[in-house]
Amino acid sequence: MALKQLDTVAQKINLDPNIHTVLKKPERELTVSVPVLMDDGHTEVFTGHRVQYSSVRGPCKGGIRYHPDVTLDEVKALAAWMTWKCAVVNIPYGGAKGGVRCDPFKMSTEEIRRMTRRYTVMIMPIIGGRRDIPAPDVNTGADTMGWIMDTVSMFEGRTVLDIVTGKPIELGGSLGRREATGRGVMISSLQLLKKLGKDPKDTTIAVQGFGNVGSVGADLLSKEGCKIIAVSDVSGAFYNPKGLDILDMLKYVKTSKNHLLEGYKKDGTEQISNEELLFSDVDVLIPAALENQITDKNADKIKAKFIVEGANGPTTPEAEKILEDKGTIVIPDVLANSGGVIVSYFEWVQDIQAFFWDLDQINASLEKIMINSFDGVWSLSQKEKVDMRMAAYMIAVTKVANALRQRGIFP
C-alpha cells in the first residue's frame, strides 16, 4: 500500500527517478530477538523490529506497537507513513516505527514490562533524542514509554527525558499528549464540515475503534454537538440511532476487563457487528482501529459521505478508488491523525528545554498547525482537482524530496 501510494504521487509531481528510488527504501531496518522470562518460569522469545524510514528532515519519529500481527513489512509501511505525516504538518522530523510480535492481552504487566526493557536495550544502538524518538502506538501507552525512558537512563547514568514521547506527566510527558491524536481527528472532522457548510449538530458519526484515538475523538466530537450513533472495539460494536452516551461508555471502559466495551448495556443501545458499523448510514465514518479495514471487498457498501482516518492505513488504494467513484471524501491518515505526532514534537521540545507549557498553549498550538495543514491540503486538492490523500502526499513527498535534493547523496 505504502509503495503504491508513493509511486502514484511520484508520477503526479514528476518526481526525479533517482530521488524516487531512494524514497522507496527505508534508511535502516533492525530486527531483534527479545527473550523474556515469563511468570511461570519458562523463557519466551519475541521478535521485535525498529525501522527508520527517512531522517533527511530531522530525527526519526514513530510509535512502538505490541500486536500478534506485527511484521517487518507492516512496520516499514508505518515508518513510511510517519515520514509523510511529519512532512505534511511541517514538523522537523523524519519517520520511523517499531513493533514486537506478541499478544499483550495474554501477558501480565510484569511480563510486558520485562519485554519492553529487553526490547529497549536491543534497539538502543539506533535510538536517541537526536536520532530516533519512539512513542506509544497500538497496545502501548504512557507506562510503556516510562519503562523505555528509565531503561535508557539506567544505561546512560542520567535521566534522559527526550528519548521518548508520550511519557507520564511526572516523567517529562506533555499535557494533552494522550488526547492529541483524537483531538486532531476532531479538528480535521470539524474543518471538513466547515468547508462543506455543514453544521456539527446535524452530523451523525460512526467510530470504529474505542481505544485512545477513537474514544477521545468520539468524546470531543459529541461535545461539539455531533451525534455519535455507533462505536466499536475488538470486543464488539454498539449502536443507538438517537446517539450513544459517550461519557457513560468512557466511564465503563475505565474499569472493564482489558478496558473493552464487552458487556456494556444501556437502554436504547444495541450490539451490532463491526461490519454493520462500517456500513452505517452516517455522515462521517471514523476508522480508528487497525489498517486495511476498508478494502475492495467492502468499500461499495460504505454509506458514509465522509471518512476521517483516525487509524494508520485503514483504507486500501483499491478501496479508495471505489470510494472516489462514489463521491466519498476521505481525509487521509497522514493529515487526520497527525495530532499525536504534533504534540509529541511539543513534548520533545519541552524536554530539551526543560520548560513545560500549559494545556491551553498546547491545544492552541496544535489547533493552529492542524488548521493550517488542513487548509493547505484542501487548497491543493481543489486547485489540482485531486483527492485529499493525493494532495497531502504531493505536499509531503515534495518536502522530503526537496530536503534530500538539497542535502545530496553521501558521499
Summarize pLDDT for 40-61 with one digit per residue, the tens.
Answer: 999 999 999 999 999 999 999 9
**The pTM is what?**
0.92
Percent residues over pLDDT 70 in the chain? 100
Residue 97 annotated in active site? yes
pLDDT tens by residue, 199-224: 999 999 999 999 889 999 999 999 99
Dump pLDDT digits (tens) for 162-211: 999 999 999 999 999 989 999 999 999 999 999 999 999 999 999 999 98
Q: Choose among 174, 189, 165, 137: nearest CA to 311.
A: 137
Does residue 1 register a pLDDT over 90?
no
What pLDDT, on a 0 to 100 scale, did the predictor assign at position 248? 92
Domain boundaries 178-336, corresponding CATH code: 3.40.50.720
What is the length of the chain?
A: 411
- 93-114 tens-digit pLDDT: 999 999 999 999 999 999 999 9
Strand order in the sheet with 204-208: 270-272, 236-239, 227-233, 204-208, 284-287, 306-308, 329-331
263: pLDDT strictly greater than 90: no
Q: What pLDDT, on a 0 to 100 scale, did the predictor assign at position 229?
A: 95
pLDDT at residue 236 tops 90: no
Residues of the chain with CATH 3.40.50.10860: 26-173
pLDDT tens, position by position, 130-158: 999 999 988 999 999 999 999 999 999 99
Of the residues 97, 167, 227, 399, which is catalytic?
Answer: 97
pLDDT of residue 160: 97
Set of cell numbers at residue 68: 500478534
Please state whether beta strands 284-287 and 306-308 pair in parallel, antiparallel, or not at all (unpaired): parallel
- Mean pLDDT for all residues in the chain: 95
**DSSP per-residue letters across 201-265:** GG-EEEEE--SHHHHHHHHHHHHTT-EEEEEEETTEEEE-TT---HHHHHHHHHHSGGG--TT--
Q: Which pLDDT does position 91 carry in this prediction? A: 97
Q: Transcribe 90-145 into DSSP letters.
A: T-S-EEEEEEEE--GGGS-HHHHHHHHHHHHHHHTTT-BTTTEEEEE-TT--HHHH
| CATH placement of domain 26-173 | 3.40.50.10860
Q: What is the pLDDT of residue 138?
A: 86
Average pLDDT over residues 351-368: 97
Q: What is the arithmetic mean of pLDDT over 297-318?
A: 93
Residues of each domain in the chain carrying CATH 3.40.50.720: 178-336
